Amino acid sequence: MSKLVAPHGGKGLVCCKLHGSELVAEQEKAKGLKKIKISARAKGDLIMMGIGGFSPLDGFMTKADWKGVCENFTLANGTFWPLPITLDVSKADADAIKVGDEIALENDGVVYATMKVSEKFEMSDSDKKWECEKVFKGNGDESADDKFWEIALKDHPGVQMVMKQKEVNLAGPVKVLSEGEYPDKYKGVYLTPAETRAMFEERGWKDVAALQLRNPMHRSHEFLAKIAIEVCDGVLIHSLIGNLKAGDIPAEVRVKAIDTLVEHYFVKDNVIQAGYPLDMRYAGPREALLHATFRQNYGITKMIIGRDHAGVGDFYTLFEAQEIFDRIPHPADPGKALQCQPLKIDWTFYCHKCDGMASLRTCPHTKEDRVILSGTKLRKALSEGKEVVDHFGREEVLVILREYYAGLTEKVEVKMQGAASGEKM
């Protein structure tokens, strides 16, 4: 009997990936099916369904699921779920597909899945706007009623992604045929929920925390992980290895930097590095909930939530991603409720007077005494060729990042939000 937290949804790991003769037969059948080109986001969603990362989902959401998730954080059957997982297609493609048809889902020439269409529903611009307001609008300055749409269409990649979606959503169960490039490109780092659970079991871990990363690991991330190691059996440093927005640092560079940091500054028996294949949605508090939901499938009991988790710009307040956990629904059936809990940690930084890492809960000194740490601030300094302040990052990691930026032929401007600059401390 496993001591780890059960997968979300009460059905165990729901893995839609086929294997062996079933996979071969479905790949052959897919050759004769209508092919629908899908986005990189949908590709990542499919792979997560394939490996059980999105348990209990076995396909793309119906209209009732989509509406329930946006409005009430629950699927139509009452299971907690924080973000829409939908598949958009053009009206022309939708008109050529009937409910009950099987189709093949293709990205960049690779068929990732087949799908039996159970429903088609149109998404007007007003539907998309409603989704954006429910999912992406927060309590920060840029989410104010008189600013949100003026700013979001220009500066919020999640809103831009939804508004660019095609006119119709298709729903239905999927059979996943491929995990794409991830098993080979990130060998040893790309791990499935079954694999991380087996590793935790082997180490005797029961209470496991996850550190979400989309930026290079700086001193604040290191401090968060070490706090978690002190109170849990171990930590999974879990990096996004899908697509990011322009200006973010590629996954292979971040993985190399984390390897170096773990090698020199962690007790290796207490930490595991892994990656997962999703694209960022930049949904701030809602995405923090998604991170906790699928981490439960990986065997995680605590999701580290610090300042401005999964945020973008100033659309969210500093600790909104922590606060949202206190107001989500808790279905009576524990299998349908979120079991992975937040490990809430205050704003962390290096303090010269404390002579070490600290947080707003432990440091009595002033803003002038502190080195404000953020991934955005680090990327901005490196992209502009500026010196990185002492105690911001480990020198072994900065060598790797400077080498990456020195090799870039095209620079992307990095916008500095208030939280990252330290103005709001």
For the annotated catalytic residues, the residue numbers are 214-215
* Residue ranges in the chain whose pLDDT is less than 50: none
Whether residues 174 and 211 share a domain: the answer is no
CA triple 313-286-424, angle to 5 deg: 35
Whether residues 269 and 377 share a domain: the answer is yes
Q: What is the pLDDT of residue 49?
A: 98
Q: What are phi and psi of 403, to 5 degrees?
A: -65, -40
Whether residues 167 and 187 share a domain: the answer is no
Share of the chain above pLDDT 70, in %: 96
Which residue, 128, 160, 180, sits at the end of a domain? 180
Q: What is the pLDDT of residue 20?
A: 98
Q: What is the pLDDT of residue 218?
A: 86
Whether residues 257 and 117 share a domain: the answer is no
**Count of the separate structural domains present in the chain:** 2
Q: Is 413 exposed, middle or buried (0-12, 13-18, 19+ CB in 10 A)?
A: exposed
Sign (positive or negative) of CA dihedral 416, 420, 424, 425: negative
CB 79 within 8 A of CB 106: no
Whether residues 153 and 175 share a domain: the answer is yes
Q: Is 170 exposed, middle or buried (0-12, 13-18, 19+ CB in 10 A)?
A: buried
Helix residue ranges, H only, 274-319: 285-297
Whether residues 368 and 261 share a domain: the answer is yes
Q: What is the pLDDT of residue 414?
A: 57
Which residue, 164, 180, 196, sits at the end of a domain? 180
CATH code, 82: 3.10.400.10
Which residue, 180, 209, 228, sits at the end of a domain? 180
Output the six-digit token pair for 333. Answer: 């059936």
CB 34 within 8 A of CB 105: no
Nearest CA to 220 out of 79, 102, 391 is that of 391
Output the six-digit token pair for 28. Answer: 């052959």
How many Cα atoms occupy the beta-carbon half-sphere of 65 within 13 Å? 26
Largest Cα–Cα distance in the chain?
68
Whether residues 108 and 194 share a domain: the answer is no
Residue 157, domain member (yes or no):
yes
Whether residues 113 and 262 share a domain: the answer is no
CB 121 within 8 A of CB 87: no
Give CA–CA dist 349/344, Å, rounded.
Answer: 15
Q: What is the pLDDT of residue 353?
A: 97
Whether residues 214 and 113 share a domain: the answer is no
Residue 310, domain member (yes or no):
no
Structural domain containing residue 103: 20-180
Among left, alpha and beta (phi > 0; psi -120 to 50; other), residue 296 is: alpha
Give CA–CA dist 315/42, Å, rounded.
Answer: 25
CATH code, 382: 3.40.50.620
Whether residues 146 and 125 share a domain: the answer is yes
pTM over 0.85: yes
Q: What is the pairing mode between strands 102-107 and 34-37?
A: parallel
